[in-house]
Amino acid sequence: MILNTGGRTDTVQYYTEWLLNRFSEGYVLSRNPLFPNKVTRYELTPDKVDCVVFCSKDYRPILPRLHEITDRFNTYFHYTITAYGRDVEPGVPSIDDSIDTLIELSGIVGRQRVAWRYDPVLLTDRYTVETHMETFESMAERLHPHIDRCIFSFVEMYRKLERNMPEILPLSDEDKDDLARGLGEIAKHHDIAIQTCGTNGDFTRYGIMKSGCMTLDILGRANGVEFRDLKHKGMREGCHRIESRDIGAYDTCLNGCRYCYANTNPNKAHENVLLHDPKSPLILGHLRPEDTVIQGAQRSFLKVKP
C-alpha cells in the first residue's frame, strides 16, 4: 500500500505531532469523507506500507524528527513552492524561506526523494505569463541541485474557485502553450526533469513528460526498490498516478490558499482544527458510538517483500 499523508490537508505543516504519534503507535484511523460514520483502520508498519508519500508547503515542523519515519519506511516528498504571495497563499512561507527548507529537506533525505511542485499555475493581472517565467527561472536556479524533478499543473476552473478568486483569468490554449514552452525551456537549461500532473494536453514537444506525479517507477527508483508492473488508475481525468490511501481530512488545512479544492471555506478549517487531538487516532475528533471501523485493505505493490 502507498500511504498519502498530504492529499486532503497539509498534515506536515499543521499536524506533525499527530502524524508522528500515529507512526509511533503503528496505526491510524481515517474517516470516509463521503460517509462520515465509516472509519478505516490502516496499520502503519513497514510490512504493510510500501512507501509513505508526503506533500506539504512547509516541512519545517517535522524536520527534526523526520528520521523517525525515514529510518523505517520508503519515502517520497512533494514540496509545493509557487510564484504566489500571501494575497493567494496567506499561510504559506515566503519563496526564499520555502527554498531554504527544501534544500534542508533534500540534505536529509537525498535529492532523489524530493519533487518540487510548481502548481497550480494560474493567471491574474498580477501573476502573468511573464511573472511566472521570471519567478520559475529564479527558483530553478536555486533548486535544481536539490530535487528529483519538477511537477506542474494548470489550475482547474471549478465554480468555487471563481467565487474565491474573482480576479482569476481563464487560461486559453495559447496561454497554456506559452507557459509550457517557457517552463520546459527553463527546466532544460537547468537540467531539471519536468512533467505535468493531472493536465490534459501533450507538451512533450517542450521536453515535458506526461507521466503521473506518483508512479511506482518514481517511488521505486527513489528508494532503490522494485515494484510490480501494475496499472495506474489515477484519481481524475488526466491523472496517471498509482492508487494510494490518504489519512488526512478535508476542511482542516489552515494555509488558506484561495485556489484550494480541499477546503469548502477558510472558516470551516479554523473551526475544525479546534476538534483536533494529537493523541487521537483520527486527525479530526474521536471515534463516536455510531461509527463503524473496518480494517483497510493493504496489499503490497512490491515485487519482492523484504
pLDDT in tens, 2-11: 999 999 999 9
Which helix (H) or strand (E) segment is 25 a member of?
helix 16-25
Q: What is the pTM of this model?
A: 0.94
Query: Is 12 domain-assigned?
Result: yes
Provide the percentage of residues in the chain whose pLDDT is more than 90: 83
Query: Is 212 domain-assigned?
Result: yes
Query: Is 305 domain-assigned?
Result: no
pLDDT digits (tens, 9 = 90+) for 96-131: 999 999 999 999 999 999 999 999 999 999 999 999
What cell numbers appear for 154 in the block?
494548470
Query: Is 302 domain-assigned?
Result: no
Query: Is 268 domain-assigned?
Result: yes
Contact 136, 184 (CB under 8 A): no
Task: Say if residue 205 is exposed, middle or buried (CB neighbours under 10 Å; 0-12, 13-18, 19+).
Answer: exposed
Query: Is 304 domain-assigned?
Result: no
For 172, the 3-state DSSP assignment is: coil
> DSSP labels for 250-296?
SS---S--TT-SS-S-HHHHHHHGGG--TTSSSSSS---TT-EEEEP
Query: Is 306 domain-assigned?
Result: no
Split into its structural domains, the chain has a count of 1
Query: Is 300 domain-assigned?
Result: no
pLDDT bin (cut points 50, 70, 90) of residue 236 is very low
pLDDT the model gives residue 32: 96
Which residue range is the domain that position 139 belongs to? 2-295
